[in-house]
Amino acid sequence: MLVDKPLLAVLRGERRDPAPMWMMRQAGRYLPEYRALRAEKGSFLNLVYEPEAAAEITLQPLRRFPQLDAAILFSDILIVPYAIGQDLTFIAGEGPRLSPPLVEAALDDLAAQPDRLDPIYDTVARVKAALEPSKTLIGFAGSPWTVATYMVAGQGSRDQAEARRLAYADPGRFGAIIQRIEALTIEYLSKQVEAGAEALQLFDSWAGSLSPAQFERWVVAPTARIIAALKGLHPDTPIIGFPKGAGGKLPAYAREVGADAIGVDETVDPVWAATELPQAVAVQGNLDPLALIAGGEELNSAVRRVLDAFADRPHIFNLGHGILQDTPIANVEQLIALVKGDK
């Protein structure tokens, strides 16, 4: 018996009303049930690497908000460099650290440990087995450019200067890093699909820091190669590309990478995006996470602007980036009611 999955339908080009929705980082720190489990397990990596806990966290937002149309795997984009051979730690209040940073270490000195990805596949399988049939399970990975910025610098940064410098100064060396990420990402996402993921998202969180030529070289080209490879392996699995900060470069990205949907961040005018992005491509987005924190009439008007802008094309409602940890639960309930037409 075939089960209707609204989010998958939109990813395959249908218009659905009301729009299917999910929220980036929907499994996370704004939920008291997540904070309780995090306190019990002790660290972020402990949660990621314990499949039972990671599956529970993935499912938590759908239990609290049953009108969400998708679960997204609870994990982190830096699992890939961890499997490539860098050490990964999370420092409270400061974020992730990868060592040794490739700005000073050689890529070939890293000893690959692909078994570090195995618990993630276990998590995917557990979630798929427990997920309500009408919901879609989304797997994900970071796109090569964004992952490379962390691998080169060893941590996040405001302007990704170390990676950008290396890409200009030694494009051969930087390209080798991109290629290593690209190859493992294809394998990683393919195995997520084999474990039960029904759609995939590629997060390029730092795409906005590049010039147009560098964007073509380090964002568009590697993303297109990954998507082409995955389409060859899993032709029925739709893929969402999310190049945060791409702005005016979004139409070229949408035309060239081969994604089934394009994630749009909150800095993009949705009316412009609806006009400029190819009509054959679904659009995902793009409520400002701070409008969600504000709630009230500001949230009402912001949601309506997004819904109205994308009313005539396949649209998945989402935030322009991840939900923030101080977001009131009541505001999420208000958002879902607005999108789903309950008030």
* pLDDT tens by residue, 72-100: 999 999 999 999 999 999 887 778 999 99
* 17 carries an active-site annotation: no
In a domain, 320, yes or no: yes
User: Is 126 annotated as catalytic?
Assistant: no
In a domain, 91, yes or no: yes
pLDDT, tens digit (0-9, with 9 covering 90-100), for 27-42: 999 999 999 999 998 8
Give domain status of residue 115, yes or no: yes
In a domain, 1, yes or no: no
Q: Name the active-site residue from 49, 82, 121, 150.
A: 150
Number of domains forming the structure of the chain: 1
The active-site residue out of 38, 97, 164, 217 is: 38
pLDDT in tens, 114-141: 999 999 999 999 999 999 999 999 999 9
Provide the pLDDT for residue 1. 61
pLDDT of residue 43: 86
Active site residue 109: no
**258 in a domain, yes or no?**
yes
Domain membership of residue 131 (yes or no) is yes
The DSSP-derived string for 16-69 is: -SSPPB--TT-SSTTSHHHHHHHHHH-SHHHHHT-HHHHHHHHHHHHHH-TT--
Query: Which candidate in 12, 15, 16, 29 is catalytic?
Result: 29
Q: Is residue 212 part of a domain?
A: yes
pLDDT band at 158 (very low <50, low <70, confident <90, very high): confident
Neighbours of 159 (CB within 10 A): 10
Main-chain phi, psi angles of 96, to 5 degrees:
-80, 155
d(CA 193, CA 100): 31
Residue 21 placed within a domain: yes
Which is nearest to 153 in space by CA: 142, 164, 144, 143? 164
The CATH number given to whatever domain includes residue 156 is 3.20.20.210
122 in active site = no
Mean pLDDT of the 153-180 span: 95
Q: Which domain holds residue 95?
A: 6-340
SS3 96: strand
Residue 186 reports pLDDT greater than 80:
yes
Exposed/middle/buried for 170, CB within 10 Å: 0-12, 13-18, 19+? exposed
Residue 285: closest CA among 254, 328, 326, 330? 254
List the catalytic residue out of 69, 76, 204, 260.
Answer: 76
Mean pLDDT of 200-227: 97
Examine the pLDDT at 48 and tell me if it is beyond 60.
yes
269 has catalytic annotation: no
Contact yes or no for 193/239 (Cβ under 8 A): no
